[in-house]
Amino acid sequence: MLRRTMHRFFFADEKRVGTRTILVGHRPVSETEVYVMQQFCDNKIISSKYTIWNFLPKNLFEQFRRIANFYFLIIFLVQVIVDTPTSPVTSGLPLFFVIIVTAIKQGYEDWLRHRADQEVNESKVVVIEDGKRVKKDCDAIEVGDIVEVTTDETFPCDLVFLASSSKDGTCYVTTASLDGESNFKTHYTVQDTAKLSTCQAIDCLIATIECEQPQPDLYKFVGRINIYKEDQEPVARALGPDNLLLKGATLKTTHKIYGVAVYTGMETKMALNYQGKSQKRSAVEKSINIFLVVYLCILVGKAMVCTTMKYFWINDRSVDEPWYNQKTQRERETFKLLKMFTDFLSFMVLFNFIIPVSMYVTVEMQKFLGSFFISWDKEMYDETTKEGALVNTSDLNEELGQVEYVFSDKTGTLTENTMEFIECSIDGYKYDGSMSEVDGLEYYEKAQKSREDLFLRALCLCHTVQIRHRDKVDGKSHLETSSQSYVSSSPDEIALLTGANKYGFTFLGQANGFMKIRNSNKEIESYELLHVLDFDCVRRRMSVIVRMPSGKIFLFCKGADSSVFSRVPESEIMKTKVHVERNAMDGYRTLCVAFKEISESDYLNIDVSINEAAMALQDREAKMEAVFDEIERDMHLMGSTAVEDRLQENAAETIEALHSAGMKIWVLTGDKMETAKATCYACRLFQANTELLLLTTKTVGEDRHKEEQLYTLLMEYHKKLVNEMPENCFVFKTTSSVLRSWTLSQEYGLVIDGATLSLILNPSQDSCSGHYKNIFEQICLKCTAVLCCRMAPLQKAQIVRMVKNSKGKPITLAVGDGANDVSMILEAHVGIGIKGKEGRQAARNSDYAIPKFKDLKRLLLAHGHLYYVRISHLVQYFFYKNLCFIFPQFLYQFFCGFSQQPLYDAAYLTMFNICFTSLPIVAYSLLEQHIPIDTLMSVPKLYMNVSGNAMLQLKPFLYWTFLGLFDGLVFFFGGYLLFWDASLEDNGKMSGNWAFGTLIFTVLVFTVTLKLALDTRFWTWLNHFVIWGSLAFYVFFSFFWGGILWPFLKHQRMYFVFAQLLSSVSTWLAIFLFIFVSLFPEIILIIFKNTKSKSRQPATLELPILVSYKHRENGYTL
């Protein structure tokens, strides 16, 4: 009725889709209006994955989705159903061990989540009911409840801010638990409810809130509040992100606030952000899957060969039915194809251990435990922030050793994001010193006094800085007096206020809608703040509309030169543009300042337009942008400012090291070209001899022939780089990637801006420029460095995607510190967040977070290199030892009539991967340093030896495979020759097949373990313990297993076998001989490679060699 009438009057054309209506305090707006109750979820938080009822089926379903687990389940079922040569225990026990360990781990993690949920859900909160404070459990809060929160408490759900103990209706919160930002954020009430600061007053509020349905964006909220008063028309006010208090944020410096619950439980923004990012897979994971397929084919091939040979063998009836073992009639009538199929399955079961089920658990354990070494690295700990590196995902540790392209932001990543005011320009006059009260600036001509004052007033008014007491601030601040400081989410704004203070104008704060400043005459001036046109990445400017003390209305605007120059008269641009370009070439960040006077009648129209756009529930951002665009026209340029953002510590050295390691560095920034170029020269991305190729609006033009000019430039650069250069000038190719060399006397760098990039990536429909992208891509890949300036966040992601999908599929890494870098961080193979001063959105969305850019060098060259070598060796070693394990079993079938007779005892089959050979490779994969970390850091070129997934390519894979086959041949035929016609016992008794298998198994365990010892370069007490301890455990177990008559075994076939075997001197000699022969080729190869390497490299650098570790002529310092 009345409410609906009002909405039809004001918002008749708006679509009301996807919104919710909330009764504040559950009080209806009128007795006559019918309100349809909406169903909202409760405030119970559920971050757990399982319940006690669904844990078992759900967890088992998820685990058996993995190919290896499902494969072993099938093998186990075949053993249970079909008469197979091995007990179901041999495959079932390892499988169940893996399943149980994984289930326990996941169950424990989920129990911790349940406990955390319970702690949150049962915490006490205060709800206002009938004017009284009522304590409830947090999960009892309903949408529409009015909640009271006191200082240092966290908000129990998403609240619309209604009132606070502050007179101006503001409060300050920190959102560290949401996005990692520790600085204070200011939130505001609508002025109509600001004075309802007691529970009795707030309980009298009759209002409804209409807002969008829950969505996960922490920085977006669209809504409006309708306030009803007796005998008055309802009042509608816009609600935005500044009016929303998010669950998980903490109230600071404000005694208490009142808010109404709008999103509860799993519909809060914090809960909606629980969902993980898209899963990234490393190159090693892909290689593991390929190896699994290859070994599965080998397994099937072995089973088929044995099945075929068996039926060829039993084709002779005297063999198939000897006189002493005649078949029954039923056996003769068995369908032959079915028998062949069951025999095939039996052979599959017999050889199934060639697929290492325990490898998945070992790899996961290595990744999980290995990630702690990054977090514990003291070299990546920042004493200033008291923070170290953070691992958000451990699945990509080895990918850090495979990076070929690095995409970096500039501000806050290469630079400190600590701004210092350097100078300003007013009407073309330079100001770079302090201004005295009487004489003004010394040594320089100056602008008119009125223009100076207007410019400095613009700096003091056009911002979103707040003033807080110094001892209460935890964030970006600048001390102004002994008790006050500036607080802002942008360090640029604080730097500009500091610069204005140098010239005698000081911002004193904002209260009750008025901003106060102290002018150069020490007089206090008060300005009514009418509207703030907030900064956004698209407009690249912000404005304020204020009423001057004289009553006149002014708009003050500051922004990037590209976004301001187009909105002021051309005659005013040149005198300021000179200063802007010079400052940019010096590496300073520049902003332009403009103003315009607004008449009272125009302001009334502007006010209506802004309010209408702000009240929209659908497409509010687009409508606000259109209104702002209309308002910020026909301004007058006053001048510009220059602030310095210093390079981060060792940023240049880090980039040089990454270059030497074979990586290409691209800088993607929103800054203007001149500023970005100066920074690139300062951080040595561009060298003195680097020839820059420019693709900017200056070189391409902005007229209708710009696409033709762009095509001409692209073809010119393509001819210079691609056609005229020697084939191997910049690259030399391997089977999987392109590795760079940086030894040329002439290097090329590309500089492109956002506008030109849009022409290339998004050509017009009527142009024939669809192939621009391919030409541009070829040019980029030939350049040693690329600078992309004036980039929008989406364009950053497009660039990363273009390179990621280029020929060779190179591994990409993106590093940034701000929210505008999140898109490229998520797009790259590896995303690195800098814990910077632009908030923690980048760090929160990244795979790894580091305190400083310089830590990227250690993360890649040391940790990345070592992690890749460790896990690659782990994977190859697992397949190698399992091939050694099963190949003798395959050979044995040729000597037992393909009867599917097992070579090893069931206990050995079961425990080989679980107990006897598991711990040494785990310790190796966590602790190995084949090259000292100091050497890896000082010789960056070593990184190229593992790039391109070098250790998991075809050549090392074949080497490990043939090594496994060779060792298997030595084990089997060595034992075969030993047992051929000699007795190992004094009484002349011949040994049986279990003694034969035990001998082979003993040589196998010792050989594969000593092989790992040969490969170990970094010995610790733990390596010694697990290697020699595993061998001792095997010997102890064998004596124990064969020394007791076990009552649960049908056949005591292993009784006293091991002890009797070792009682023979011939057995001891044979064991040592077989181990030596198996390892001899490996020893010879390592000696040869070490000798060859030492003869080629400087005597001062002695590096150990790993088999399958790639070496090239330029691998070291040659």
Would you name the residues annotated as active-site residues? 409
E strand map for 587-736: 589-598, 636-647, 664-668, 690-695, 731-733
Enter the tokens of residue 95. Answer: 């499988």
Q: If we measure between CA atoms, which residue out of 825, 826, 794 comes closest to residue 277?
A: 826
Q: Between the CA of residue 535 and those of 493, 557, 778, 913, what are the distances in Å?
A: 12, 10, 36, 60
Enter the tokens of residue 84. Answer: 């197979």
CA–CA dist 309, 894 (Å, integer): 9
Sign of the dihedral through C-alpha 627, 631, 637, 642: negative
CA–CA dist 99, 94 (Å, integer): 9
Q: Between the CA of residue 991 and those of 895, 983, 1110, what are the distances in Å?
A: 16, 7, 46
- The label of the residue with tokens 């350049």 reads 783
Does residue 417 come out as left (phi exceeding 0), alpha (psi in the -120 to 50 range) or beta? left
- Do the bridges between strand 636-647 and strand 589-598 make them parallel or antiparallel, or are there none, so unpaired? antiparallel
Angle at which helices 918-927 and 993-1015 cross, to 10°: 10
CA–CA dist 533, 536 (Å, integer): 9
Q: How many CB atoms lie within 10 A of CB 388?
A: 19
CA–CA dist 831, 406 (Å, integer): 10
884, 1008 Cβ separation under 8 angstroms: yes
Q: Residue 57's Cα: distance from chain center in Å?
A: 31
* Residue 26 DSSP code: G
- The label of the residue with tokens 């011949």 reads 990
Q: If we measure between CA atoms, which residue out of 700, 685, 98 comes closest to residue 360?
A: 98
CA–CA dist 173, 182 (Å, integer): 9
3-state secondary structure of 444: coil
CA–CA dist 645, 649 (Å, integer): 12
Q: If we measure between CA atoms, which residue out of 405, 477, 23 comes closest to residue 206?
A: 23
E strand map for 427-475: 429-431, 466-469
Q: How would you list the strands of the sheet with 256-263, edge to edge?
A: 132-137, 124-129, 146-150, 256-263, 158-164, 244-245
Q: Residue 725's Cα: distance from chain center in Å?
A: 37
Enter the tokens of residue 7. Answer: 């909405």
Angle at which helices 1021-1042 and 993-1015 cross, to 10°: 180
Enter the tokens of residue 511. Answer: 């209260």
905, 1052 Cβ separation under 8 angstroms: no
E strand map for 47-191: 124-129, 132-137, 146-150, 158-164, 170-175, 181-188
E strand map for 272-357: none
3-state secondary structure of 260: strand
